[in-house]
A and B are shown apart, each in its own frame.
Chain A
């Protein structure tokens, strides 16, 4: 069992989840309240990674962040290295790839918060930030947990984008899924099976724990006072 690959995947998934919580929550809040004719276009952009083959996304990230583009050159002048084939590059690619898995549940949760409660908060003198933190976030807690868990689990299992952008560098970009691929290539089915089974069990546990939590949270909110 390659525990290094596991540790790397967990580190990547945790980082992606944190970044998506920090950036995805405001983005989703903005999207949920946006009244613009461009909204469907923006929603499409966010949802694109759901339908694109990871290789397409990976290919463009590779090109865009490579040393020949402005973005790549700025990054290189700041850090002294290029994005592709580094952990940072993997992080950028994974955040983009998992974006809809976070933003869509977040936005659905926000849209489900009664607009009158937001108005009531404003009439009580609350600004956008206070309303968001004290009213909107608590009332969409289960959607936020769902989005975070989905981002985590999805990053844990990604393959195509990692291979395109990160390559296969042990300890740097060789994640669990690449590790499994390597074992299969080497016809080491026993090792591949061990790692795959572990990933399968872990993901299943994560999702079922989340769904149970959501059920209890919904029941608790009902006790507390949400009108059905």
Chain B
């Protein structure tokens, strides 16, 4: 969890700002003490604007930004430290390498204050760390996407920043390259001991790269916390949807430990306190199939439709509850399981494990 005392001691990032941009309004409030914070949200949620405000490339309308005890921005006190003095490194979405400079010149660009020998040594060290030794004399145009990204990262790390801001670092890459580049990025970040903010619209990228997640929706913080917590118990239906949950139903509490899922027409046992439940949900890959009827949260169902991806099969199911209202559930299973399942006579039986069912207040 973000730790307020850490920030008071002078480590971490504390942000409280508003930025008005035409009709759009960004309201951001969080304190990050962990090492890697992912900012997740759909396009247009204000992710890049948030990052650019922290970088000093946008000026917030009001608020305050503090990094490791230094005030970077304070509207009330008229403090606005320029980008070049914020000790923040930024990895731009399309890397923004200087096209007229070689790899070595790009990496050494921010080191003008160092003596020539020292600068050269620092650049050599960074190039070696990023496996770019052989490319020092090349121009950005002559590099692959993954290599360009490593150069951009080396350039951002060269000035020894206290915070690293990554703006959709993988989105410019072809799909087949992403896994590899992501691995390289993780390795490169492993040595970085400052705070990293990782902006992405891809929940899988964010989940793999970060410890904590901040979900941004329509310019506001919809959720903030350790990633496991947010994926296991999304506080609202919106956060559930933004973190990839396909099955959400309106709900009302019926008794201790149970809710009625109105869209699915069934009564569900849940482990979270259901008193304020307005929504209930379960992830598609958390739905399991059982051979026998009976048991907790086991319901008969029929298959409506199914689609396939290379390794998985997505099933659209209709539950046969006492008062089923026709809402569908989406389940995702591995191909081999589908091969077993498809020969069995309907109705099949699904189990919505009470441990994996979450309730949301809104």
A-B interaction: yes
A47 to B110 CA separation, bound complex (whole angstroms)? 37
- Give the contacting residue for A227; candidates B88, B89, B99; CB below 8 A: B99
A124 to B98 CA separation, bound complex (whole angstroms)? 12
CB of B202 closer than 8 Å to a CB of A: no
Do B110 and A117 touch (CB < 8 A)?
no
Do B141 and A130 touch (CB < 8 A)?
no
A217 to B89 CA separation, bound complex (whole angstroms)? 32
CB of A45 closer than 8 Å to a CB of B: no
Of all chain A residues, which has the CB nearest B109? A124
- A interface bracket (residues with beta carbon within 8 Å of B): 20 to 34
Interface string of A64-102 (1 = CB under 8 A from B): 000000000000000000000000000000000000000
CB of B90 closer than 8 Å to a CB of A: yes
Of all chain B residues, which has the CB nearest A135? B98
In the complex, how many residue pairs between chain A and chain B have their CB atoms under 8 Å apart?
77
Do B110 and A122 touch (CB < 8 A)?
no
Do B99 and A122 touch (CB < 8 A)?
no
Do A119 and B141 touch (CB < 8 A)?
no
- Give the contacting residue for A122; candidates B83, B112, B155; CB below 8 A: B83
Given A122-B84, A123-B88, A125-B159, the answer on whether A221 and B109 have CB atoms closer than 8 Å is: no
CB of B361 closer than 8 Å to a CB of A: no
Interface size on B, residues (CB 8 A): 28
- Give the contacting residue for B98; candidates A117, A123, A125; CB below 8 A: A117
Least Cβ–Cβ distance between B152 and chain A, in angstroms: 8
Do B109 and A134 touch (CB < 8 A)?
yes
- Give the contacting residue for A116; candidates B96, B141, B142, B155; CB below 8 A: B96
Interface string of B106-137 (1 = CB under 8 A from A): 00011010000000000000000000000000
List A110-164 residues whose CB lies under 8 Å from chain B. 114, 116-117, 119-127, 130, 134-135, 138-139
Do A124 and B99 touch (CB < 8 A)?
no
Do A225 and B142 touch (CB < 8 A)?
yes
For the complex with contacts A126-B112, A224-B100, 18 further pairs of A-B residues with Cβ separation under 8 Å are A116-B94, A117-B98, A119-B90, A119-B92, A120-B92, A121-B98, A124-B110, A125-B110, A126-B109, A127-B84, A130-B112, A138-B100, A221-B100, A224-B141, A225-B97, A225-B100, A225-B139, A226-B141
Which residues of chain B have a CB within 8 Å of any CB of chain A? 55-57, 82-85, 88-90, 92, 94, 96-100, 109-110, 112, 139-142, 155-156, 158-159
Which residues of chain A have a CB within 8 Å of any CB of chain B? 114, 116-117, 119-127, 130, 134-135, 138-139, 221-227
Q: List 30 A-B contacts (CB under 8 A).
A: A116-B96, A119-B57, A119-B83, A119-B90, A119-B96, A120-B92, A120-B96, A121-B98, A121-B109, A122-B84, A123-B84, A123-B88, A123-B156, A124-B155, A124-B158, A124-B159, A125-B110, A126-B84, A126-B110, A130-B112, A135-B98, A139-B99, A223-B139, A224-B99, A224-B100, A224-B139, A224-B141, A225-B100, A226-B99, A227-B141
